[in-house]
Structure 1
Amino acid sequence: MEYTHEPADPVAKGVLATARQSWNDLFIFKQRVVVTSELGETSTEWARPVPLRNPISLLAQLSGRDWLFFIVGFAAWTADAFDFHALSIQQVKLAEYYDTTKTNISTAITLTLLLRSVGAAMFGLAGDKWGRKWPMVVNMIVLGALQIATIYSTTFSEFLAVRSLFGLFMGGVYGNAIAMALENSPTDARGLMSGILQQGYSFGYVCAACANLGVGGGVDSWKTVFWIAAGISIAVGIIRAFFPESQQFIEARKAGKAQAHPSAFWKETRTMLAQEWKLCIYCIILMTWFNYYSHTSQDSYTTFMLTQKELANDGASRASILMKVGACVGGTIIGYISQWFGRRRTIIVAAIMSMVLIPAWILPEGERSLSATGFFMQFFIQGAWGVIPIHLNELSPPAFRSSFPGLSYQLGNMISSPSAQIVNAISESHFVTSKSGQRSEAYGPTMGIATAIIAMGIVVTTAFGPEKRGREFEKTLPAGMNLVPEGKKMEDDLERGDTRESKPAVEMQDVGEKN
């Protein structure tokens, strides 16, 4: 950011004041920032975003160690997505295998999403307290084992039970993966790296769809895809065990060791929740919209092509692959643009574009047309998603960059968990006439109407929410080291993520830090 030294009104306090200020700032290309002097004095001024830099030069800013952490985080997120989509893209096969309806099979998706928030809390807090490494190692290996357990589930009840437990461990991946990947990235490169990182989810979908295409349409072939998913997850966990802990976490722990004291972690966690509960609720609402956005538009899309559009398994798989290639491209490009255009503006424009494309997304016939429109639809849907990892990291209280984004994301997942069931249930109770004249379940209209409503919800929620683009959190101490023992005269600021000696002439503010 380029500082203009042009004074700005202070950052608003309170829900309505923040919403009003956020709406007004949306139409001002400059960004309101809080600048802290060396003496601890704060002032608010306008900053101008620097022009977009050559993406190659941004990628060159990452050191070998930075790339190591980023690649491992990307691989973990990709494996997580492969595990999830191994089920969602094979609902038709699984329904036939267990002799039940597609709606009942989507119950497994609901249970997985429902319990992911519990895993996010467990492994996110573990990552903030003990580091990013070993929680992720345990997480990934157990995920692989549960994929194998799914294969050996002989009854539908056993299948649902295993998928519920799977959701518990799946929830722990996101927070630690994005914290590890992005906290080691240079500030200027974070928008681009956020876009690339988020597309690990889409890349995982592409890999799962390729596996589904490779094994064919046989009923029992779903087990082969699950074996592949298990192998990838366990491999990522083993690989992570041989790489070091995040250097930033190690250095921060060393710097704050003298300030650590018994029960400090949980005390600081309670303090953070007391200070930031409104922000927590906002991020959960935002992530609820986003998770509905993603799952409503993709989980039943392969089923839509197989049933309403009457494509064969290989044609539907190829169209799904191209759809998610669009997601990978869109997430990377739009995440990169957000570094200059702003996180909120970028999300809003992408969501509006996805609404405009809905008719072209569900009306065409044939594999080629569906592949093309699916590509551009997911370009903008996952383009908006590409901003989310860095946006959540910047909004997070700095010491809780593992637990806060992961828990916000997975609580949104929990609330949106019935999305696939809702789409399937409505579609299977309403019918349209297919191209061949057959009566077909109305997946297209259901997904189109739902996606339009959800995209509008994202636009409104984002327009009235906060943004802290370019925020620095490199010097933040780990959670549990930002509160000092009683008797020492110091002030803590969890939002700022630093601790300083008290200065009577300076009023400490809980609104941000120098960007």
Structure 2
Amino acid sequence: MALLRELRSLNAAQKSTFTACFLGWTLDAFDFFLLTVCLKAIAADFHTGIKQIAEAIFWTLVMRPLGALIFGMMAERFGRRPTLMLNIVCFSVFELSSAFAPTLTSFMVCRALFGIAMGGEWGVGAALALESLPASGRGFFSGLLQQGYVFGNLLAAALYGAVFPHLHGQGMLTNWRVMFMIGALPALLAFYMQFKVEESPVWKEAEKRREESATRRGGVPLRTLLTYLPTFLFLVLLMTAFNSFSHGTQDLYPTLLEKDHGLAPGRVGLIVVISNIGAIAGGVCCGAASERFGRRRAIVFAALAAMPVIPLWAWSHSAPLLAVGGFLMQFAVQGAWGVVPAHLSELSPGPVRAVFPGFAYQLGNLCSSRNGVFQAQLASRFSGGTLNAVMSATVVVAACMVALVAALGREARGEAWQHEAEKEHVA
């Protein structure tokens, strides 16, 4: 009921804008996860090992901060809408290029370029969506927007299960290449945006005032970024904690289920799906709750709520209890994450709102990108390879980090962004 009430409160233009931004993030994640589900097939096609192909994931992740910076600065100068359209076309083109890569080296280059495009989508899309929506519903739509990443993961897994087994092509039409060709379809979303999506009213107002005062066209010089450096460093620290929290509970969890609990792949897949359902529910519920209780309180509560779930999540002795634990753990983890788009956007100064959230997000992701490696190494050294203890400790440390850093920040719930252009003009 709350979902329908919030959606009905939007006018047609706002609904179209949010739909486009949600789909952009969903399809961006969908294209990324197509690589993860096709690793074995790609390795066989290039006559190499899975470890070598997994390097493509690394190159995608490591290039994402660069994309967040490039596309974020473009969004400040040229507007959120055209930048997001270009961004969607770019990651679709690089996905299609990956499908036709003739060698492993060219495939790696395509995935690095895809990483640049992927890195730009979240920050620009969040700025366009949240600047176009009423401040009173920002928390709810933040939670819903963030779960586009989970939907993209589920979509990739569903396509893999439904289509991949029936593909038996050869040459440039091998099964994984066809999957990547399908992954290029998000480019069609740009055509939808051309006719249905309007520019951010906050950006338009700022641009109008700059034109009236005869100042140069909006942009973000380096000195402007440096002016807000303390805020930016805080956001990077916050997002490092957040990414450690999510990656620390997700990346090796299927391995934990298989190795520590001896579950068959089918049951592992089912538990992961149930966990993702919990993630979606948590993101929406906690995002909406942040409107009433504040962004910081919602994050702190959700993060700390993950710790009592640890015994059920990692140490249960039956698949049903592990499924319940997975649901509750991701409800808490993604519940905290559901507040992130609104909280980061509200903490970011108006002149850099399209740059700071996405750039900080991706740098935090980069800082925590070796999380899984460290977990595996610690498990191998101290617990004979079993992951229960290491992943349980990870939840405690990461949850406390998220709660502490979030509590140290300021509360900016529901700030009126419409007045920022006037403040910038006066300054």
Distance 1:237 1:300 in 2: 35
Do the aligned partners of 2:256 and 2:387 also contact (CA within 8 Å) in 1?
Answer: yes
Distance 2:393 2:177 in 1: 34
Distance 1:224 1:366 in 2: 38
CA RMSD in angstroms comes to 3.0
Distance 1:94 1:345 in 2: 44
Higher strand share: 1
Moved more, 355-364 or 94-103: 94-103
Match in the other structure for 1:442: 386
What TM-score does the superposition give when structure 1 sets the normalisation length? 0.74
Following superposition, the deviation at residue 108 of structure 1 comes to 2.8
Following superposition, the deviation at residue 222 of structure 1 comes to 4.7
Query: Which one of 215, 231, 238 corresponds to residue 286 of structure 1?
Result: 238
Query: Which one of 390, 407, 412 corresponds to residue 463 of structure 1?
Result: 407
Does residue 474 of structure 1 match 2:390? no
Aligned AA (2:108): L
Query: Which one of 362, 365, 371 corresponds to residue 419 of structure 1?
Result: 371
Distance 2:28 2:376 in 1: 23
Does residue 500 of structure 1 match 2:426? yes
Aligned pairs for 1:217-232 within 5 A? 222-231=176-185
Distance 2:107 2:375 in 1: 21
Query: Which one of 342, 347, 353 corresponds to residue 390 of structure 1?
Result: 342
Following superposition, the deviation at residue 292 of structure 1 comes to 1.9
1:241-273 CA-to-partner distances (Å, cap 9, x unmatched) read: 333431503344224312243476345x52352
1:24-73 CA-to-partner distances (Å, cap 9, x unmatched) read: xxxxxxxxxxxxxxxxxxxxxxxxxxxxx966444332111111111101
Match in the other structure for 1:319: 271
Do the aligned partners of 2:210 and 2:425 also contact (CA within 8 Å) in 1?
Answer: no
Aligned AA (2:364): G
Do the aligned partners of 2:142 and 2:340 also contact (CA within 8 Å) in 1?
Answer: yes
Match in the other structure for 1:144: 92
Distance 1:68 1:305 in 2: 40
Do the aligned partners of 2:207 and 2:217 also contact (CA within 8 Å) in 1?
Answer: no
How has the CA–CA distance of structure 1 residues 247 and 405 changed in structure 2, closer, same or farther, with 3 Å as cutoff? Answer: closer
Does residue 109 of structure 1 match 2:45? no
Following superposition, the deviation at residue 89 of structure 1 comes to 4.7
How has the CA–CA distance of structure 1 residues 105 and 147 changed in structure 2, closer, same or farther, with 3 Å as cutoff? Answer: same
Q: Tell me the secondary structure at the aligned position of residue 417 of structure 2.
A: coil
Match in the other structure for 1:256: 210
Moved more, 333-342 or 315-324: 315-324
How has the CA–CA distance of structure 1 residues 307 and 73 changed in structure 2, closer, same or farther, with 3 Å as cutoff? Answer: same
Aligned AA (1:238): F
Aligned AA (2:82): W
Do the aligned partners of 1:80 and 1:204 also contact (CA within 8 Å) in 2?
Answer: yes
How has the CA–CA distance of structure 1 residues 94 and 66 changed in structure 2, closer, same or farther, with 3 Å as cutoff? Answer: same
Higher helix share: 2
How has the CA–CA distance of structure 1 residues 425 and 105 changed in structure 2, closer, same or farther, with 3 Å as cutoff? Answer: farther
Number of residues paired by the alignment? 420
Following superposition, the deviation at residue 357 of structure 1 comes to 1.5
Structure 2 unaligned runs (5+)? 169-173
Do the aligned partners of 2:73 and 2:219 also contact (CA within 8 Å) in 1?
Answer: no
Match in the other structure for 1:234: 187
Q: Tell me the secondary structure at the aligned position of residue 409 of structure 2.
A: coil
Do the aligned partners of 2:150 and 2:279 also contact (CA within 8 Å) in 1?
Answer: yes
Q: Tell me the secondary structure at the aligned position of residue 419 of structure 2.
A: coil
Following superposition, the deviation at residue 419 of structure 1 comes to 2.8
How has the CA–CA distance of structure 1 residues 212 and 366 changed in structure 2, closer, same or farther, with 3 Å as cutoff? Answer: farther
How has the CA–CA distance of structure 1 residues 424 and 79 changed in structure 2, closer, same or farther, with 3 Å as cutoff? Answer: farther
Do the aligned partners of 1:361 and 1:373 also contact (CA within 8 Å) in 2?
Answer: yes
Following superposition, the deviation at residue 221 of structure 1 comes to 5.4
Following superposition, the deviation at residue 469 of structure 1 comes to 1.3
Match in the other structure for 1:195: 143
Q: Tell me the secondary structure at the aligned position of residue 426 of structure 2.
A: strand
Aligned pairs for 1:331-350 within 5 A? 331-350=283-302
- Higher radius of gyration, 1 or 2: 1
